[in-house]
A and B are shown apart, each in its own frame.
Chain A
Amino acid sequence: MASLTNRSKVVVNKKMTFWERLYLPAIFGGMAITLKHFFRKSNTVRYPEVKRPFSPVYRGLHVLKRDDKGAERCTACGLCAVACPAEAITMTAAERKKDEKHLYREEKYAAVYEINMLRCIFCGLCEEACPKEAIFLTDRLVPTELEREDFIYGKDKLVELLDQRIDVSKRQVKTYGEDLKI
């Protein structure tokens, strides 16, 4: 049978020569290969300190955006939850009170908004379904946890902080373009 790779060697049970029985050339040969790798460029990065650049279409941890005045964009319309193939999103809506106009952009807002990161498959359909440009998948990773409950992300983890805005402009231009801005 023809060899697939041309690298196969026929095993022969021939008697080894003295030089071969010393094993030293083979050991030094192996060490030389190992030594060569010390001076090569490493294939890995030291992760938490060094981060590889993500592709602009990378879909990682979600963010619930605020608008330019700092009010939450999400209006709890439920389209992300109905679009979610993994049924990872749940929410409860509430009505905005008169003195909360600076907190929520619309008349209705999500009082509870939870994504189960163990169910989430990071397909990005929630981002596509969102009519208010509120939810986006970012290039951040979901950290590991020890308890299953900790993977249910509430608004405390999802809504971006006022002083630490998360830039999603690359995704916005890609998906929506200028003419579809609300």
Chain B
Amino acid sequence: MVKVKIDGFETEVPEGTSILNAARQIGGDLVPPAMCYYTKLKGSGGKCRTCMVRVAQSSEKDQRPMPKLVASCSTPVQDGMVVENITNPAVLEARKAVVEFLLINHPLDCPICDQAGECDLQNLAFEHGTSKTRYEEERRTYDKIDIGPNIQLHMDRCILCYRCVYTADQLTDKRVHGVLNRGDASEIGTYIQNSIENDFSGNVIDVCPVGALTDKTFRFKSRVWFLNPFDAYRNCPTCSGKVVVWKFGEAIYRVTGRKDQYGEVEEFICNTCRFEKKAPEDWTIEGPRAIDRHSVISQNHYEGFGDLKI
């Protein structure tokens, strides 16, 4: 076990833990945001640079600070490490710059995008970005691509976090999904529109932090804040069957995995659960999904208040 101090809060974590996970153990505002790191995907992280923090003291033995900001998702903690995140203005300034870079080619079509309201990039830009863009050049555009019958790829919105690539690599047995080309011409490819046959391929929708990969069965059907999320399960032979169903009245509009507070799914669900089981009798409802009160999804939902006292 090693001791690490983040923004003045001390915690003890096993050796080899990343700074990001140590911060998540403390929780609260000092947790750096992460767009590409995903706990359940091995090798993810280090791409988006939003989780940059300053290490003010490398370890007990070597008390010098690290010369540059480091990516907290891929830097392991050392004993006696002192980390500054929100207490250091340079970190916040760097994060603001990273957000600006991520948004350079992003089309900002949130009014159209199905991810709006539960989008990590939207939240990140709202909390850390500026309200205006300084970019005047033409943004890069792509045609939208169908990945199989149920998944839509909008390369315009992609921030190249590689999460979907790792998901396809690790959950499916053959590699059908990858990144083509380099630099700003990079593109998520599927061996030119080969559909993904694997039972768990739909999880690329859940891991995508932006609206690049979206559910075609839910495309433009509603907005997430008009739906009521419920925890539900069914006896599924391929996956755990534990999902969130998003209901509009009695109708189930879409099915997703259960995401924790950092937007990571608790368990990956299979394509049958996600795309085909939309009838109310397929699911046993456990109860309403707890959504952060400050999320737009909680807007105009009155369940949490209980009966009004008269």
Please give the residue numbers on chain A whose beta carbons come within 8 Å of chain B beta carbons, in ascending order: 75-79, 81-82, 87, 93-95, 106-108, 131-132
Contact = CB atoms under 8 A, between A and B. Distances in A.
A94 B111 contact: no
B299 A93 contact: no
Contacts of B222: 78, 93
A95 to B, nearest CB: 5
A82 B225 CA distance: 8
A77 B110 contact: yes
A94 B220 contact: yes
B110 A131 contact: yes
B116 A108 contact: no
B112 A107 contact: yes
B226 to A, nearest CB: 6
Given A95-B219, A95-B220, A108-B220, A79 B111 contact: yes
A108 B211 CA distance: 15
Interface of B: 109-112, 116, 219-223, 225-226, 296, 299-300
Interface of B is mostly: loop
B299 A106 contact: no
A75 B112 contact: yes
Contacts of A82: 223, 225-226, 296, 299-300
B223 A78 contact: yes
Nearest to B131: A180
Given A82-B296, A87-B300, A107-B112, A77 B223 contact: yes
A93 B300 CA distance: 20
Contact of A81 (B111, B221, B226): B226
A76 B300 CA distance: 18
Contact of A77 (B116, B219, B299, B300): B116
B111 A131 contact: yes
Interface of A is mostly: loop
Report which residue of B220, B221, B226, B299 has the largest number of chain A beta carbons within 10 angstroms of its beta carbon.
Answer: B220
A108 B112 CA distance: 6
A81 B111 CA distance: 13
A94 B112 CA distance: 11
A79 B111 CA distance: 8
A81 B226 CA distance: 9
A46 to B, nearest CB: 43
A78 B220 contact: no
B221 A106 contact: no
A78 B112 contact: no
A82 B299 CA distance: 7
Contacts of A94: 220
Contacts of A131: 110-111
Contacts of B112: 75, 77, 106-108
B134 to A, nearest CB: 13
B111 A132 contact: yes
21 contacts: A75-B111, A75-B112, A77-B110, A77-B112, A77-B223, A78-B223, A78-B226, A79-B111, A81-B226, A82-B223, A82-B296, A87-B300, A93-B220, A93-B222, A95-B220, A106-B109, A106-B111, A107-B109, A108-B111, A131-B110, A132-B111
A76 B221 CA distance: 10
A107 B156 CA distance: 13
A77 B111 contact: yes
Nearest to B112: A108
Nearest to A83: B299
A107 B112 CA distance: 7
A112 B180 CA distance: 40
Contacts of A108: 111-112, 220
Nearest to B132: A179
A78 B219 contact: no
Contacts of B225: 78, 82
Contacts of B219: 95
B246 to A, nearest CB: 14
B125 to A, nearest CB: 14
Contacts of B110: 77, 131
Contacts of B299: 82
A93 B296 contact: no
A114 B110 CA distance: 22
Report which residue of B109, B112, B221, B223 has the largest number of chain A beta carbons within 10 angstroms of its beta carbon.
Answer: B112
A8 to B, nearest CB: 44
